[in-house]
Amino acid sequence: MKSITNFKIFVGFCLLLGLALSCKGEAKSDPKTPEVEAQEVTKQGQAFIKDDEATPNVLNIAMGSEDHTTLVAAVQAAELENALVNAGPLMVFAPTNAAFDELPDGTVENLLKPENKDALANILKYHVTPGKYSKDFLKKFQKLGQANNQDVSVSTEGDDVFIGEARIVASIPAGNGIVHVVDKVLLPPEE
Amino acid sequence: MKKLTLIGAALLGIAALLTACKDSGASSNGALAYSAAEKVYVSPGEHDEFYAFISGGFSGQLSVYGLPSGRLFKVIPVFSQDAEKAWGYNEETKPMLNTSHGFIPWDDSHHPDISQTNGELDGRFVFINGNNTPRIAKVDLSVFETTEIIEIPNSAGNHSSAFVTENTEYVVAGTRFSVPVPQRDMPINEYKGNFKGSLSFISVDPEDGGMDLAFQVLMPGFDYDLAHPGRGASHGWMFFSTYNSEEASTLMEVNSSQNDKDFIAAVNWKKAEEYIAEGKFTAMPTNYAHNVYDEETHTATSTMKKEVRVLDASELPGLVYLLPTPKSPHGCDVDPTGEYIVGNGKLSADLTVHSFSKMIDAIENEKFDGDAYGIPILKFEDVLGGTVKQAGLGPLHTEFDAEGNGYTTFFISSEVVKWKVGTWEVIDRQPCYYSVGHGMIPGGNSRKPFGKYFVAMNKITKDRYLPTGPEVTQSAQLYDISGEKMQLLLDFPTVGEPHYAAGIDASLVKERSKKIFSLSENKHKYATTSDADVRIERNGKEVHIYMTMIRSHFNPDNIEGIKVGDKVYFHVTNLEQDYDVPHGVSMIGANTSELLIMPGQTETFVWEPKQVGVWPFYCTDFCSALHQEMQGYVRVSPANSDIPLSWSLGE
């Protein structure tokens, strides 16, 4: 995992450099153009709006958590940032890094490959419900309809609530929904 | 953590640069690729190619824009009082806002639809629904004014409305909320099986456009969301999306999403006409307002109607069939051929497309999968025409171009997705900024879409415009859809919530636009069509002033003999017969709005003077070089004064 992400950084910077150079080349005829375009790039969706006043959204919460770096990397690889900052309401079941580590060796690395972007997006969307329910309230449900179009079961054991096999270990209300931290990665059933 | 953040930053940077480079490439191609600016630029004095009628949602009104410029031309008052145009303030238009609940000064305007002839837009009328206190209004496009409003009984939350059939035989009004029909005092928790939904068909007179509530179809207690008419082979059918087939009445966000599938209800309205002709309806006592504005008297009248013809879908075979549709469908859209009915399940990632010919086949072969309150449910697999797979998150509404493509808005993933009708493959997707609701292609709900542009109506703008405090403008976004890929051209701010829109080639409308009202045809009860008729009449405490206005004076402009406690009616006629010369009038201390009176028109406001003195009135519309001279005085004497009534101009 680490070597791969380091490699990504490297590739990223190479690309960055390359593109920056090619842009500069084109912009020679009009020296003001790059500035204007630099402003344009901040307008690529709600995920990139600077906002210190409003309650953090589900994406902000995940990005701010040290236990969810794998999840955040996956969201970014699948380019799902903008879907997570929408008006929602969105309920995100956020597996911890430890949960991702429990997957068979190589699974995460494999999913992060560009050619597996759709499969990764499908898994991530299986962690998102349109709705906003507290852990207690979830006890009323037997299943939830997830954003990838599949259902996931809801069950209760004492005070614990399980989404599929994953136990909710913490819940953080967000500006556009709620993040339930879970101890397992949810894998969508084969259809 | 730090490393991962770095990766993120690097990835974002790359994405940003890629986009930046793409943009600069496009604009530097000059003659090869038109820039967005060139495409939306309409030179000063030139006209736009299309009218766009965009509803104001909670503003209650209908805005008129030009496309591609995005310029706002007019806000037509429909369901909300508008002080600017005296709508609902002057005596002439107050009856337009009358309902069975009394005078209602606001509503939630939702879905405008343009009248059709032979399945093509004819540019005569725009129909639009009031969501809150169920109503349908008709806007006459010769005057761009609301000329008729009909209240819908047995309905609550008139949402699946105001869509027209392909010869404007009917405008429909499906209820969002099911309610007791007729209304009565009963426990809410006895909703299931007892509450009913109603789908109303309002006929439109082919000659004068007069509306009449022809009949209602009584349905199970679901929620009815949107509707679209059949066309071509499916003409004679109207399709309504439903949700809450669970018949829940509380915590709807959970309880109305329990069933995997809700329904699109296919209503055979030609069959309904047969049943009406055979007398198989119930004449149900009710009470609703029908308000009509007469262009010759410049005055509205409100009539209370007492009966409605009701057809029970549970008892009349062949009237309604239910097409199972996944995940609480919202949009219910019919392609230009009339063959495909698209259900946009708002909790789904897929689009479900039903086939009309398969539906007819399933009906003929009775391929039913049970029934709901006696209404046959067709087998999902037997009516399914295709599925657009994983097109986005939160599909909402689909419009069509003339080239066989569908354009669906996705609220959650905030994008518009272009797909091919028939192969169901996704062709292109473009982001919307942000949270797009409905979309619009001019003529998109007809046999012949004009295509060319797609307008996305966004609920949220956040950083897209200069901030204006916590409330920021909602917006429309214009995309060029003439090529394989869609191109975002323009953002423009909107009035209220831009909920839904209809667009039409301007040439079908602008030639018919009226320039003045003829004075010789003015049949207003208190019209004063020549200065010879100017007068004031007292009837007890009621005083009627027959006043005229022309550049740049009122006649009379000096009035004496008014007393504290009088109720003074200013009936003011604009004698101008010149295009674009309205006058306004307002009186100090009058508890109402100004009047804005078009050439040849008469309007009335009421003033009840409470203080002794000499009080001025003046023209409120900058009418002429001597506008500032256009004024007058009214002398108000004590209640017991014996100063006689007198009036004059220039004496």
B327 with A145: Cβ contact below 8 A: yes
Classify domain A54-182 by CATH number: 2.30.180.10
Residue type, B317: P
pLDDT of residue B239 exceeding 70, the answer is yes
Which of B299, B315, B331 marks a domain boundary?
B315
Residue type, B201: F
The token pair at A185 is 């990665």
Residue B385 near residue B329 (C-beta atoms within 8 A): no
Determine which of B2, B4, B435, B491 to mutate to test the interface with A (most A C-beta atoms within 10 Å): B4
Q: Return the pLDDT at B97.
A: 98
Cis peptide before B182 (omega within 30 of 0): yes
Q: Which residue has the higher pLDDT, A84 or A166?
A: A166
Alpha-carbon distance B206 to nearest alpha carbon in chain A (angstroms): 44
Q: Return the pLDDT at A44.
A: 66
Domain positions in chain A are 1-41, 54-182
* Phi/psi at B12 (5° precision): -60, -40
pLDDT of residue B265 exceeding 60, the answer is yes
Q: How confident is the model at residue B12 (pLDDT cuts 50, 70, 90)?
A: very low
pLDDT of residue B359 exceeding 90, the answer is yes
Residue type, A135: K
Alpha-carbon distance B29 to nearest alpha carbon in chain A (angstroms): 11
B459 touches chain A (CB under 8 A): yes
Using alpha carbons, list the distances in angstroms from residue B569 to B506, B542, B543. 40, 8, 6
Determine which helix (DSSP H) or strand (DSSP E) holds A72, and give its type and residue range. Answer: helix A69-77
CATH code of the domain covering residue B617: 2.60.40.420
With a pLDDT cut of 70, the percent of chain B lying above it is 95
Determine which of A148, A149, A152, A191 to mutate to test the interface with B (most B C-beta atoms within 10 Å): A149
Q: Cβ contacts (< 8 Å) between B430 and chain A: which residues?
A: none
The token pair at A143 is 């299943």
| Listed residue (A116, A91, A115, A55) closest to A186, CA to CA | A91
Using alpha carbons, list the distances in angstroms from residue A63 to B9, B13, B45. 12, 17, 51
The token pair at B73 is 């031309």
B420-B426-B427-B428 Cα dihedral, nearest 10 degrees = 130
Chain-centroid distance, C-alpha B183: 27
The predicted-structure confidence for B483-493, as pLDDT tens digits, reads as follows: 999 999 999 99
Residue type, A181: V
- Mean predicted confidence (pLDDT) in A114-134: 92
**Size of chain B in residues:** 651
Locus of tokens 């105001």: B162
B530 domain-assigned: yes
Alpha-carbon distance A94 to nearest alpha carbon in chain B (angstroms): 16
* Phi/psi at A69 (5° precision): -65, -35
pLDDT of residue A17 exceeding 50, the answer is no
Q: Return the pLDDT at A6.
A: 47
The token pair at B163 is 């869509």
CA angle B76/B77/B82 to nearest 5° reads 130
CA atoms within 13 A on the CB side of A4: 12
Phi-psi region of B613 (alpha: psi -120 to 50; beta: other; left: phi over 0): left
Please tell me whether residue B385 adopts helix, strand or coil conformation.
strand
pLDDT of residue A52 exceeding 80, the answer is no
B165 domain-assigned: yes
Which of B263, B297, B315 marks a domain boundary?
B315
Cβ of B326: how many Cβ atoms within 10 Å?
21
Q: Which of residues 599-638 of B touch A (CB under 8 A)?
A: none
B1 with A66: Cβ contact below 8 A: yes
Among the ranges given (A16-25, B285-294, B518-527, B557-566), the one the predictor scored with the smallest mean pLDDT: A16-25
Give me Rg for the CA atoms of chain B: 28
Q: Return the pLDDT at B34.
A: 62
> How far is the C-alpha of A58 from the C-alpha of A80, rounded, in Å?
12
Question: For the range B69-72, what are the long-range contacts, defined as Cβ-Cβ under 8 Å and sequence gap of 24 or more?
Answer: B69/B40, B69/B41, B69/B42, B70/B40, B70/B476, B70/B478, B70/B490, B70/B491, B70/B492, B71/B42, B72/B495
Residue type, B187: P
Q: How many domains does chain B have?
A: 2
CATH code of the domain covering residue B185: 2.130.10.10
Q: Cβ contacts (< 8 Å) between B459 and chain A: which residues?
A: 87
> How far is the C-alpha of B55 from the C-alpha of B494, rounded, in Å?
9
Report CA torsion sign: B213, B216, B221, B227: negative
Alpha-carbon distance A158 to nearest alpha carbon in chain B (angstroms): 23
With a pLDDT cut of 90, the percent of chain B lying above it is 89
pLDDT of residue A40 exceeding 80, the answer is no
Containing structural domain, residue B198: 80-220+287-315
